[in-house]
Amino acid sequence: MPKKRKESEKKIPINTNAYIEGAGTVVQEPITVTLEKNYMPYAMSVIVSRAFPEIDGFKPSHRKLLYTMYKMGLLTGNLTKSANIVGQTMKLNPHGDGAIYETMVRLARGNEALLHPYILSKGNFGKAYSKNMAYAASRYTEAKLEPICNELFGEIDRDTVDFVPNYDNTMTEPSLLPVTFPSILVNSNVGIGVSMASAICPFNLSEICETTISLMRNPEHNALDTLKGPDFPGGAFLIYDENELDKIYRTGRGSVKLRAKYNYDKTANCIEITEIPYTTTIEAIIDKIIALVKAGKIREISYVRDETDLNGLKIAIDLKKGTDPDKLMAKLFKLTPLQDAYSCNFNLLIKGYPKVLGVYGIINEWVNFRKECIKRGTAYDLNKKKERLHLLKGLEKILLDIDKAIKIVRETEEEADVVPNLMIGFSIDETQAEYVAEIKLRHLNREYILKRTKDIENLIVEIKDLEDLLGSDKRIKSLIIEQLKAVSKKYGQPRKTMIMSEAVEEYVEEDETPDYPCHFFITRSGYFKKVTLQSLRMSNSQKLKEGDDIVQEIEGSNKYDLLFFTDKQNVYKAKASQFADTKSKDFGDFIPAKLSFEDGENVCAMVATPDYSGYILFFFENGKVAKVPLNAYETKTNRKKLAKAYSDKSKLVEAIFVKDNLFVMTRSSNGRAIIFNTAMISPKTTRDTIGVQVMTLKAKSVLDKAYIISEEAVSSLSKFVVKNIPAAGCFAKNIEDPDQVTLG
C-alpha cells in the first residue's frame, strides 16, 4: 500500500490569478539602449535639478532654503538657530541636513563667499578663503535673511512665478524667484553636472544694473564701457585684458587673471598679503611657498605664516636681508597661486535646458524673464482690482436703499435664501450678494458704505492704468529700469576687485644651470658620457666595457637638451645638466636604467640640441625616409617620454640629425647606392610619418646603410647622385674608403 503523504509534502495549489507573465525573465538589449533608458534621464536630472543655476541666479538647493526662510518670517523677524532652518528646509529638500547646512553656509555673510550675501549670520560660518577655518555646527549658529532678499520675494505672492509640488506632494514651492535685478551675474555660481560644468563669475551690482539699463535702451551698447570686469568678494587685482573680457561677454567662455594684493613693511622686512585670488586658499599658497623654499627655487624667504584674525586675511612673509620685495613677489606670482586664473563657463538653465551664454545673452534672457514676471504680477493685480470693483459696485446698489436690504435679510425665513433674495431685490450677482450678506450689522450704515464706494472711481483709474501697462512693452521696460536704479542705489557698493590696466611685467625664471662646453658620447650598449674639454685634453682615450664601442660623439654644452631614440619607437628627453661630468676613465651612465626604459628597450640614436632647430632623418628598410622637424619633439611641459617618436611600419636602419640640407648616401643589401640632397624630402610635422620612398628596391633587397657624405665626396661619386626620387641607384664597388665617404 502507498505510504501516507506527510503534511509538508502535500501539493499546494497554484493561485493562477497571482501569476505575472514574463516575471524573472532576463531580456538582453544593447548597452546603448540601456544607457539611453537609464543613464540619460539620470544625467539630465543632475543637470536640471541639482548642478546648474537658472535665470534667477539660484540652484534648486539655494531656492528651497531661501524660500523656507521666507516662509518662516525670517525676512523681518529675529535670528533663529540654523538647525531650525535646516530642519524646516527638509520639507522641500530631502538630501539631508549636512548638505542643506553647507549650502546655507555659502550663502551667509560670515563665509565671505558672495559679493551680496543672502543670509545674515551670527556665529562661526568659516571662511571661503581658508579650508582649515571650518564652520561651526548648525546648533551653535543663528541666521535670518538679508534685506536684499526683499528683491527676491517682494512679488512672489502675486503669481509672478509658477509653483510646483514638493517631493512628497504635501506643499508647493516656487520654480523660480522673481528677482528684480540680474542676480545670476552678481553672485558667483559653480556647478558640476554630468559631462558638463558651470562657472559664473560675480560682477559688481551697480555695474550690472547700469549695463542692463544701457542694453535695454540700446542693444548695440558695448558692455565694456559700463562693466569693467568681474568683481570678486575676496578683492585682489584683476589683470585687465580687453580682448579676453569681450570674448567672455559675448561667448560666456574665457578666463580672467587675478593677482594678490600686498604691502611691504620696511621696518619688519616683511611682506603682508591682505587679499588673494578667489580661486585659491591661504593654505594652498603657504604650502606652495614652503615647497618652493625646500626645493631651493626660492632662497629669499626666511619664514612664512598665517596671521589671519578678526581683522581679516593676512599672510606674512619674512624676507632675508637685501631681498627686493617687488622682485620676490613677481617670482611668487609666477610660481604660486598668488596669481591665478578664474575659468569662466557661463552654463545655465534656460527654460529647463542647459545653455552657454555670454553677458549679453544672459542679460537679454533675464530681461525677457523679468518682463514675464511684471506681466504676470500686473495681470494678478488687475484681476484683484476688477474683483474689488465688482464687489463695490454691488455695495453701491445697497446704498440706494439700506432699509430694503435689512428688510430682505430680516424677512427671509431660511439662511440659504438670503443671497438669492438679495440678488433679486437689487439685481446683483451671487458674488456681490455674498459680499453684502457677510457685512456686519454695525457696518450697515451710510458712512461705511460711502467710504467704500468712494474707492470705485480710484479703482476705475487704477484698472485702466494697469491695462495700459499690460499692453505697453515700453512702460514695462521703463518699470524694469526704475527698479534696477532703485536696487543699485539701495544695495550698490564700491568694487572690491581693483583693475590693473597697465602692462603687467611677468616674471621670467632665470636659468641657473652652469654653461660650459662638453662632449657627449653614446656607446653601442647604451652607456652615456658627458666629458668636459679639460678632461678630454688630459686623456683622449675612452674606457669602455669589453666588446662595447662608441657609436656617436656630439659637441655641445651643459645646457643642451638630449633626446634618446629607442628601438621601440619612443624618445626619452633629458637635460644634459642632469648627468654628472664623467672622466674618460669612467664607464658613464647606463641610459636604460637612468631614464627608466621599458624592458628590453635599447638606444638607437642620440640627438643634442640647444633650441630644437634642424631636422631628424629616419631611414627605413623599405627604402623610405621620413624628415621630421626636431621641434616636433619640443613640449611646453617637461615630459620625459614621448611615444610614437617615429614610424613602426618598417624597421629603422638609421636616425641622423641634420641642421640644414646636405647630401646623404643610402645603400641597399643587393649592393646598389644613391646619393641625394635632403632638400628633396619635404618635412612632416607628424612624428610617426613613414615618409617618402627614396630608394627603389629590387627583389628581396632592403635599405641597410645610410650616412652623410661631404661635398668633396659628392663630386667624386657623381654617378650615384640622383635628381629625382625614388631611384634604384647604381651598383657600388670600392667606395668604403674613409677618404671618399664621411660616416654620420
Q: What is the DSSP letter of 132?
A: S
Instruction: Report residue 250 CA to chain centroid gap.
Output: 17
DSSP state of 364: H
Q: Which three cell numbers stand for residue 322?
A: 637685501
Q: How far apart are CA 459 and CA 391, in angstroms?
A: 12
DSSP label at residue 734: S
The gap from C-alpha 367 to its chain's centroid, in whole angstroms, comes to 26
> Which of 186, 150, 176, 184 minimizes the C-alpha distance to 63?
176
Cell 505697453 -> residue: 472
Measured distance CA(179)–CA(172) in Å, rounded? 19
Please answer whether residues 572 and 641 qualify as being in contact, where contact means their C-beta atoms are separated by less than 8 angstroms: yes
Is-contact 336 286, C-beta < 8 A? no
Neighbours of 425 (CB within 10 A): 17
How many whole angstroms separate alpha carbon 31 and alpha carbon 20? Answer: 26
Cell of 105: 553656509
Report in angstroms the alpha-carbon separations of 400 from 38, 391, 394, 440, 447: 70, 15, 11, 18, 13
Q: Helices 242-251 and 359-399 sit at what angle, rounded to 10 degrees?
A: 50
Please spell the DSSP secondary structure of 626-693, one letter per residue. EEEEGGGG--SS--SEES--S--SS-EEEEEEESS--EEEEEETTSEEEEEEGGGS---SSTT---EE
Strand locations in 208-269 (E) = 237-239, 253-259, 261-265
Phi, psi of 681 (to 5 degrees): -110, 125
Q: Which cell numbers hold the place of 399?
A: 446704498
The secondary structure element, H or E, covering residue 607 is strand 603-609
CA distances for 475 relative to 220, 465, 467, 478, 485, angstroms: 21, 11, 11, 5, 15
Pairing mode, strands 624-629 and 641-642? unpaired
Examine the residue annotation and report whether 140 is marked as an active-site residue of this protein: yes
Strand pairing report for 261-265 and 270-275:
antiparallel
Segment (H or E) for 61: helix 60-71
- 289: helix, coil or strand? helix
Q: Which of 39, 42, 140, 516 does the annotation list as catalytic?
A: 140
If DSSP states are collapsed to H, E and C, what string results for 65-95? HHHHHHHCCCCCCCCEEHHHHHHHHCCCCCC
Question: Mapping DSSP to helix (H, G, I), strand (E, B) and coil, where does residue 12 land?
Answer: coil
Own/partner long-range contacts of 613-616 (Cβ < 8 Å, ≥24 apart): 613/659, 614/657, 614/658, 614/659, 614/660, 615/657, 615/658, 615/678, 615/683, 616/655, 616/656, 616/657, 616/658
Nearest to 375 by CA among 466, 486, 478, 487: 466
Q: Which set of grid coordinates corresponds to residue 517? A: 662646453
How far from chain centre, in Å, is Cα 615? 39
CA angle 71, 208, 354 (to 5 degrees): 70
CA 213 to chain CA mean position, Å: 29
Q: What are 617's strand-pairing partners?
A: 627, 656
Catalytic residues: 140
